[in-house]
Structure 1
Amino acid sequence: MRIGNAASPEELFELMLEATHEAVGYDSASLMTVDAAGDALIVRAARGSRLEGTRVPVGPSISWQALERRAPIVIEGPAAPSLGTTYTKDVPFALCLPLVVGAKTLGVINVNRGGHPGDDAVAFLRILADQAGFAMERMELYGDLQHFTGQLLSQEEEHRRRLARDLHDGLAPILVSAHAQLQSAAVDSEPVQKATALLRRAIRETREILGTVRPATLDDLGLVAALSAAARDMADEAGWTLEEAVDDPGPLSREAESTLYRVAVEALNNVKKHAAAHEVRLALLKTEDTLEIDVADDGHGFATEQWGEAGIRPGHFGLLGMRERLAFLGGLLKVQSKPGEGTTIRIVVPRDRLR
């Protein structure tokens, strides 16, 4: 059913009412969910009347009774005295279907129409309500997962910022000072020359670590400038011809900005290490719904499906880590490559996960 493909709770609720109308038709209908405190039902979607946002506190309403009984309630004509409610809505037929999953009560669907739709239609609506309950539960779990992964990303990013600050303010100045002391000593001996060379290497590698952990350009200038600087540095080192085509991505959360930077830089590093490329293209494209980053080269290439998943093979373990990191943002990493025809790595992330 289409309700399983909804991208948001609001879309899910509208699709559920639409599916209900297609199944039995109605004069009016509403979908209500239990609020976080569990003491009221809130109308989340309605057809035939403007009820969205209406709160129904715990009480004798048939909606709450259906939840308590965990079974549909059918009313033909005036409500029976045993229901303890004056619910009639001046309609000949009303049906209240609870939305439950296991022991959890999620909400109800209320349907009002001109007559009984038949037992088969009611049975179908019960199946639809079960499917809707499962869809709501999945969406709630997915929302919890998004919140949890967002917390993980925030914690990781803060850890990286502290590490970058410690390296920048602590280790890096010590290495630079030690190198300067050796040079100023003016001692021409092989051990001193080796020590000086090792310090230069340590300084260079510390700068590379700083660039990977959290480059200063990312904080100072943003994603586009930081990516451009990294790509140009690699082009100078590797001898590429670099082509850039970048859009302004707009506001980004710190976690999203850092994730996109690290994945794109890893893609560039893969080119530097494995591709033997002469030309590299870095592109950042903003569409209505997504942000895309392409890293394309004219190097060796390797065998993979058209825009498919690159297999785990020597030199390409990093692709798995890149995909896992993008998954935290709901993003994808696609690979297009053929031996002798270069490689394109495409990063695609929904824009609503970037703020």
Structure 2
Amino acid sequence: MPRSVSDQDLLRGLERATWRVGATTNDDDLFALILEAAGDIGYDSASLMVYDRASDALVVRAAKGAQLVGTKVAAGPAISWRAMERRQPIVLKGPAGPELPHTYTKNVPYAIVLPLLVGAKALGVLNVNRGAEPTESQVGFLRILAYQAAFAIERAGLYADLQLFTGQALSQEEESRRHIARELHDGLAPVIVSAYGILQNPGKTEADVKRATDFLRKAIQETRAIIGSVRPGTLEDLGLAGAISSVATEVAAEAGWEIEEDIGDIGPVRADAEAALYRATVEALLNAKRHAGAHKVTVKLRQDDAYLEIVIADDGQGFASEQWGEASATAGHFGLLHMRERIGLLGGVCKVASKPGEGTTVRITVPRDRVS
């Protein structure tokens, strides 16, 4: 049974919660602390749900009073989704109606649902169920706690992203260095040495000079290719939209595809983000060329206020994969894994839908504010 607490008790509880939540970066510890802090008003059961964009569902990450952790609530009429959409707390006098089949609020006298908001973005909800009607002070306490929780969850997510992206960036930087070193050692250096050896020969003939000149021309081509592997020239000349259109047309001509483009104006994109998005697109096109056996390929580049999206779809032979999942190394699609790493550095996702005989769709989605 919920206990009676004074406003002074609630204020002390907020002070404790502020200090403890602010000092925690581990997700599980953070979620548990939030529910513990909510317990200061007294509740029969409670849960914290976080929005998972990949499944478009709210996922229970912590719960008291029921074994609910891991439960998913798909977008729909549930009270949790109503609070998310309204961006306002909801106090429901139960029992909840049959239109809420996916919540556990059906048989509790009072359900309090608070969206976890950072600015206009809703990260999830805090659900508190009580046998007694909450006071204005208690709802106010939960509202403040929800704001604190939202900012702490956002901060913890950013901290985790920073650690992940730092490791990935260092790994990619080292791989780029190894790639350039291999290109210089195996490609450019032998060509230059060959030209130098010919030109150093005091008995060289006109044919030798011509051969040395051919070697030097090849060295120039190799140098341009190495520079292009670091920063493709088409990005400098055409921008991301133009570069994607250009490479799609080029690969389509080589593969004999019919190409369909829906490439819109996306505005300015940071140079490093341009390069990552361009390379991921090229990788997807080359994978289709190598493996798909396609007749038609569609390339789309579009954005809204929140996300930038690139879609590469072919009508080829496809392969077995999880629906909208990520290709695994065991499937032999290592290029798709590299794409995922590149896009992950931008806080985005790279997903693949493919079935044997039904073609393949690669969907690259990144937050707009991470690439501007």
Give the structure-1-normalised TM-score: 0.54
Secondary structure of 2:298's counterpart equals strand
Correspondence for 2:14? 97
Deviation at 1:136, TM superposition (A): 3.4
Structure 1 counterpart of 2:286: 269
Query: Cα 1:174–1:242, aligned 2, differ >3 Å: closer, same or farther?
Result: farther
8 Å contact kept, 1:292–1:349: yes
Residues 1:315 and 1:119: Cα distance change in structure 2 (over 3 Å): closer
In the alignment, which residue of structure 2 is the partner of 1:228?
245
Kept in 1: contact 2:312–2:363 (CA 8 A): yes
Match of 2:259 in 1: 242
Report if aligned partners of 2:14, 2:145 keep a CA contact under 8 Å in 1: no
* Aligned with residue 7 of structure 2, among 51, 74, 86: 74
Of 120, 123, 136, which residue of structure 1 is paired with 2:151? 136
**Aligned position for 1:59:** none
Whether the 8 Å contact between 1:101 and 1:133 is mirrored in structure 2 is no
- Checking the alignment, whether the CA contact within 8 Å between 1:74 and 1:96 is kept in structure 2 is no
Q: Please tell me the root mean square deviation across aligned C-alpha atoms, in Å.
A: 5.3
The 3-state SS of whatever aligns with 1:272 is: helix
User: CA-to-partner distance for each residue in 1:1-39, whole Å, 9 max, x for gaps?
Assistant: xxxxxxxxxxxxxxxxxxxxxx9xxxxxxxxxxxxxxxx
SS at match of 2:310: strand
Q: Which residue is 1:216 aligned to?
A: 233
Q: Is 1:294–1:347's contact at 8 Å kept on the other side of the alignment?
A: yes
Deviation at 1:260, TM superposition (A): 0.8
TM-score, length of structure 2 as denominator length: 0.52
- 1:286 maps to 2:303: yes
Aligned pair in 2 of structure 1 residues 97, 328: CA closer, same or farther (>3 Å)? same
Q: Hey, what does 2:105 align to over in structure 1?
A: none
**SS at 1:274 equivalent:** helix
The answer to whether the 8 A contact 2:21-2:149 is kept is no
Name the counterpart of 1:259: 276
Task: Compute the displacement of 1:323 (Å).
Answer: 1.4
d(CA) in 2 for partners of 1:75, 1:264? 58
Correspondence for 1:186: 207
Q: In 2, distance between residues paired with 1:342 and 1:131?
A: 45
Secondary structure of the residue aligned to 1:346 is strand
Alignment of 1:296-307 (within 5 A): 296-307=313-324
Once the 2 structures are TM-superposed, how far is the Cα of residue 267 of structure 1 from its aligned partner?
A: 0.8
SS of 2:340's equivalent?
A: helix
**Cα distance 1:74–1:198, how it changes in 2: closer, same or farther (>3 A)?**
same
Shift of 1:316: 0.3
Number of the residue aligned with 1:323 = 340
Structure 2: give runs of 5+ residues left out of the alignment.
26-36, 42-131, 200-204
Distance 1:244 1:206, change over 3 A: farther
Distance (whole Å) between structure 2 residues aligned to residue 187 and residue 242 of structure 1:
46
Secondary structure at 2:235's aligned position in 1?
helix
Q: Helix, strand or coil: the match of 1:307?
A: coil
Structure 1, unpaired ranges of 5+: 1-22, 24-71, 77-92, 112-117
1 CA distance for matches of 2:209 and 2:349?
55
Q: Cα distance, 1:255 vs. partner?
A: 1.9
Q: How many residue pairs were aligned?
A: 255
Deviation at 1:251, TM superposition (A): 1.4
CA 1:267–1:103: 2 relative to 1, 3 Å: closer
